[in-house]
Amino acid sequence: MPLYFAYGANMDAAAMALRCPASRLVGQGRLHRHRFIVMREGYASVVRDPARTVWGVLWDLALADIPALDRYEGVAGGLYAKASQPIATEGGVKRALIYLGRSTAPGVPRPGYLEAVLRAGEAAQLPAAYRKEMRAWLRGPG
Binding-site annotation, residues for substrate: 113
Write down the catalytic residue from 41, 73, 90, 133: 73
Are the C-beta atoms of 83 and 98 separated by less than 8 Å? yes
CA distance readout (Å), 61 to 22, 43, 103, 104: 7, 21, 25, 26
Query: What distance in Å separates the CA atoms of residue 44 and residue 100, rounded to the nearest whole number?
Result: 9
For 28-55, give one letter per residue: b (16+ CB within 10 A) or e: bbbbeebbbbbbebebbbbeeeeebebb
Q: Is residue 41 flagged as an active site residue?
A: no
Positions marked active-site: 73
